[in-house]
Structure 1
Amino acid sequence: MRKTLGLLTLLLLAPLARAGDAPPLPTLKIDASRTAAVGLSSGAYMAGQLQMAYPELFPNAAIVAGGPFGCAGGKLDVALGSCMKGVPAPDVGALVAGATSRSASGEIGALKSLAHARVYLLHGKDDALVAPAVAEAGAQFYRQLRDGMPGLKGMQVHDDDQRAFAHNLPVAGSGDDCDKSVAPYLGHCGFDAAGEIFAQMFGKPAHAATTAQGELRTFDQDALRPDGADAFLAVTGYVYLPPDCLAGKPCGVMVAFHGCRQNADAVGKAFVEDAGFNRWADVYGVAVLYPQTRASFAPLNPQACWDWWGYSGADYDSRHGVQLRWLVNAVRALGLPAGH
């Protein structure tokens, strides 16, 4: 009971915090040819939604413990069943047909922008939360999309599904949490997933990563609300700026989406500091944007998940979705050229 009251108090007091405590996003010299979206779990679905809704901005995506775009179809029961347990398995053919139709109508972006996309799908064999069948459906979605459209033959799809880890993001160190799904959902598996993600998105590194040398900053997320609409995000987000970006050199950008119960309110700076992205960002000269959700009871999102089933509105996974429009505002503010 005390834990429930504590959560209620947190949710009630959260809107009282003011965004004025955090500065705006810095404006960088963004290289629009080097962008990627990456996420874990609900963040994996969100990365796929950003890629499909705005492929002209984010053709490259790394999906960790997630499934195919459009899987939930706006229904929570489908999200919890087919799109997590894999029962029934997602109908990949129908999802590809739906994406193709939605692209033609302008609901999502032009699929031709995925002509040279890089897609990396990572899923642990010990994942008990998102079934292997769901992850495989995600890989099949991209393969069918690529093979069904003449202009997409150059899309690269790498399905990495034979590693032994649970529902988490593997990190380089060793520990006893690789086969568990416990906060902060960073499994010390001896596998540097962040390094592999950067290599898959941007090619082999020029040298190995050491410790992060750049700056992790906070920024005001409320200032980026699309047309003032509530995107159901926290007041404050994070952005990591490598030395090259701080020096004014052309800089790529990666959007890194946390999973459910992995936002800063739940795990502090664990995801934004310890997932491994920042030190590799230094090597590649890529700024990392860490947007943050917030927990809520209305709409029902007590675990602070990204919206991949429709709590923010029926258009959640389209170009009209409020969280996706917020993201476009964020990367524009960061310096992504308006012509892309």
Structure 2
Amino acid sequence: MRKTLGLLAVLLASTLVHAGDAPARLPKLNLDPARVTVAGLSSGAYMAAQAQVAYPDIFHGAAIVAGGPYGCAGGQLATALGSCMKGAPAPDVDALVARARKLSADGSIGPLADLAHARIYLLHGKDDALVAPSVAEAGARFFETLRDGEPALKGLQVHEDGQRAFAHNLPVAEKGDDCGKSVAPFLGHCGFDAAGAIFHELFGKPAHAAAAPRGELRRFDQDMLRPGGKDAFLASEGYVYLPPACLAGKPCGLMVALHGCKQNADAVGEAFVRDAGFNRWADAYDVAVLYPQTRASFAPLNPQACWDWWGYSGADYDTRQGVQLRWLVDAVRALGLPASR
């Protein structure tokens, strides 16, 4: 009997530990709809551009780090690996803008007029050997061409920042020997606080960050947000960082921060969600940070856990019918964005 009771106690304790560790639903915040933005590195940068262009009524700014123009791959992996990474041939910006206008006209993406007050920050390193600087420059020209071709978009702010010496990574404030490399976890110790620059570009007001974040980093269940139950090819768990102001129910902004390929939690642990620098700036700006996580797969072919910017999740991947874009919007709504948006 004593042995049986001991075994039951162990099983109960194990159950309680696993129950306590289970990721929860996203919390409902006092979200300010005018302060919702998206940022991403590499495949996350392409995804950030897709979110901004497909849902300009939801996202009021995008930081695109080492990424190219919206629609670049055209649903073709070969084009993604060639034109959209190596820049050979160069992306046809005029054709990509024309496609975006057509998609907007038929309702496949949002009204481009809603970009009128958006802030677009395009950051890329001169030493990036994975995504050519010319491709990132084409990303800037995409938004500039949209703006210059539509008088209603003259308020669209586009800032290209491409003269800094770093490789294919997200620079962080500390200095080290990996700034000129592209190695896991792809956080280059360059002495440049990219997270701080991103917050300033997207949210405007100057602020001073504390040395360390004071809020809470939580895991949440990503499967609960599958749009219509459809697989979005994401990991089962994601992360959200909640600053003290958001936890207290005060008005709160939101940044969706999208990791790059091989930078998901399964590959690098919590390095990106803890060490990229976003959380301490989130405290300073009263902005929650959503860290969705992808997953690697071989069917469809995505062994490096990239965000879908070439079509592995379906032909409509960069439109409002794209399953990952729908998931992102559902996640933002779960955090408190009114459903009418």
TM over 0.5: yes
Aligned residue identity for 1:167: H
1:284 aligns with 2:279: no
Q: Distance in 2 between matches of 1:230 and 1:319?
A: 16
Q: Distance in 2 between matches of 1:290 and 1:197?
A: 15
Question: Does the residue aligned with 2:298 lie in a helix, a strand or coil?
Answer: coil
Q: Distance in 1 between matches of 2:155 and 2:338?
A: 24
Q: Percent identity?
A: 75
- Asked if 2 retains the 8 angstrom alpha-carbon contact of 1:85 and 1:134, the reply is yes
Give the match for residue 57 of structure 1.
58
Aligned residue identity for 2:283: D
1:201 aligns with 2:202: yes
Give the match for residue 7 of structure 2.
none
Q: CA deviation at 1:337?
A: 1.7
Q: Distance in 2 between matches of 1:209 and 1:338?
A: 34
Q: Distance in 2 between matches of 1:327 and 1:139?
A: 23
Aligned residue identity for 2:203: F
Within-5 A mapping of 1:261-276: 261-276=262-277
Aligned residue identity for 1:225: R
- Asked if 2 retains the 8 angstrom alpha-carbon contact of 1:205 and 1:283, the reply is no
Q: Distance in 2 between matches of 1:76 and 1:267?
A: 25
Give the match for residue 35 of structure 1.
36
Q: CA deviation at 1:204?
A: 3.1
Q: CA deviation at 1:328?
A: 1.0
Question: Does the residue aligned with 1:50 lie in a helix, a strand or coil?
Answer: helix
Question: What are the ranges of 5 or more consecutive residues in structure 1 without an aligned counterpart?
Answer: 1-16
Aligned residue identity for 1:213: R
Give the match for residue 251 of structure 1.
252
Q: Distance in 2 between matches of 1:259 and 1:312?
A: 17
Q: Distance in 2 between matches of 1:110 and 1:123?
A: 28
Give the match for residue 92 of structure 1.
93
Q: In terms of mean alpha carbon deviation, does 200-209 or 62-71 score higher?
A: 200-209
Q: Distance in 2 between matches of 1:42 and 1:148?
A: 27
Give the match for residue 170 of structure 2.
169
Q: Distance in 1 between matches of 2:208 and 2:174?
A: 19
- Asked if 2 retains the 8 angstrom alpha-carbon contact of 1:116 and 1:156, the reply is yes
Q: CA deviation at 1:180?
A: 0.2
Aligned residue identity for 1:284: Y
Aligned residue identity for 2:88: V
Deviation digits for residues 122-166 of structure 1, max 9, x if unmatched? 000000000011011001001000000111000000000000000
Deviation digits for residues 280-316 of structure 1, max 9, x if unmatched? 0000000000000000000000000000000000000
Give the match for residue 127 of structure 1.
128
Give the match for residue 112 of structure 1.
113
Q: Distance in 2 between matches of 1:138 and 1:49?
A: 12
Within-5 A mapping of 1:1-340: 21-340=22-341
- Give the CA RMSD over aligned residues: 1.2
TM-score relative to the length of structure 1:
0.94
Deviation digits for residues 72-112 of structure 1, max 9, x if unmatched? 00000000000000000000000001101110011111001
Aligned residue identity for 2:121: Y
Question: Does the residue aligned with 2:301 lie in a helix, a strand or coil?
Answer: coil
Q: Distance in 1 between matches of 2:266 and 2:208?
A: 34
- Aligned positions, number: 323
Q: Distance in 2 between matches of 1:305 and 1:262?
A: 9
Q: CA deviation at 1:210?
A: 2.5
Q: Distance in 2 between matches of 1:85 and 1:245?
A: 41
- Asked if 1 retains the 8 angstrom alpha-carbon contact of 2:48 and 2:64, the reply is yes
TM-score relative to the length of structure 2:
0.93
Q: Distance in 2 between matches of 1:54 and 1:254?
A: 14
Q: CA deviation at 1:207?
A: 2.8
Aligned residue identity for 2:294: T
Q: CA deviation at 1:177?
A: 0.2
- Asked if 1 retains the 8 angstrom alpha-carbon contact of 2:63 and 2:198, the reply is yes
Q: Distance in 2 between matches of 1:52 and 1:208?
A: 30
Q: CA deviation at 1:114?
A: 0.4
Aligned residue identity for 2:238: G
Q: CA deviation at 1:178?
A: 0.1
Q: Distance in 1 between matches of 2:323 and 2:340?
A: 21
Aligned residue identity for 2:156: M
Q: Distance in 2 between matches of 1:66 and 1:154?
A: 23
Q: Distance in 2 between matches of 1:74 and 1:271?
A: 28
- Asked if 1 retains the 8 angstrom alpha-carbon contact of 2:209 and 2:280, the reply is no
